[in-house]
Amino acid sequence: MMTTNLTKPLSKKMLAAILVITLGAEIVLYFMRYTYLAGTLYDAIMVSSFFIGWKLHHRIVDATSGRPTSRQRALQFTGAFLVFFIGSTIINIYSNLAFPAFNKNYDQYVQVYTDPQTTIDEATSTFFSMIDSVGSDLYNDTLAGLEEVWRLGYIILVLIVCKKIFPRRWENGSRDIFILFALFFTSILFGIDHTLDTVQTWPVRIGAIVTFANMGLILGLILLWTRSLWVTVIVHSVYDITTTLSWNYFHYAVETFALAAFILHIILLKFEKTQQSQSIELTD
């Protein structure tokens, strides 16, 4: 059912829009290493992704399960965030051990990124400069979550191509292999995209590709598991926001938020099970 929904016919305008946020984003991202204008264009593509995602999100929704309640959505978010937090922690530990060159380069990137926060003198450390700094961080991290629209767009394109190339296998119902291929394809691209905007040595580049491809794989699995584009977008954005906060303001921001998400998940799960038990009693 999900593959059928994802491969519904696209209008020419929607196809063009998907190509802009996928292939167009790749091209612009590459040119970010040469010009700041490309960065502005990339931000514009990410903002437009919100409106394209609004048109596409219903394609991945499981219509047979009914409209989820606010509590169920909150459970999806907390559960998905915890999955991504645990998965990314394992990936980071693995990358630190397997790719020392990438780890060293990443630490240097974080240091350079955080230096402006720690070297501002008293004359420039005004209320508005702090607002500009925090606002810019939150803006960029929020836009990063919209990369999940990019992922959904690619998944749709890959499935449509597979449907055309392998019509017999598609009609026989062997479609899980196509979903898995689309998932791995977008994950690898997600890893490669994290190396497009800067020139890096191959040891660093390979470490970045493997690390971020694995994180992209987890986000893709969350998208397919929750059947919700916006839950996945928010998980991505919130993780990036808390990571930035941990770099500049509060060292354990990610871990603190994960703990809060875990506590909230347990509480919501308790309420959900209680409500389900009461519903069963009423029907009996």
DSSP states along 72-120 = HHHHHHHHHHHHHHHHHHHHHHHHHHH-HHHHHHHHHHHHHHHHHHHS-
CB under 8 Å to 272, separation ≥6 — which residues? 71, 72, 75
- Summarised one tens digit per residue, pLDDT across range 18-58 is 999 999 999 999 999 899 899 999 999 999 999 999 999 99
112/96 Cα distance (integer angstroms): 19
User: What's the token pair of residue 201?
Assistant: 């040595």
Single-letter code of the amino acid located at 204: V
Q: Which residues of the chain have pLDDT under 70?
A: 1, 112-133, 280-284
User: What's the token pair of residue 93?
Assistant: 């530990």
pLDDT at 259: 97
pLDDT at 123: 46
User: DSSP class of residue 195?
Assistant: T
pLDDT at 281: 62
Helices (H), the chain: 2-6, 12-19, 25-31, 36-56, 70-98, 100-118, 127-145, 147-165, 167-171, 176-193, 202-226, 229-248, 253-283
pLDDT at 223: 95
Single-letter code of the amino acid located at 81: F
Q: Return the biggest CA–CA distance within the chain.
A: 71
**Residue showing tokens 């612009």:** 28
Question: For the chain, what's the residue count?
Answer: 284
User: What's the token pair of residue 89?
Assistant: 């922690």
pLDDT at 69: 85
Quick one: which of 234, 191, 251, 242 has its CA closest to 79? 234
pLDDT at 151: 95
Give the chain's radius of gyration (CA, Å): 21
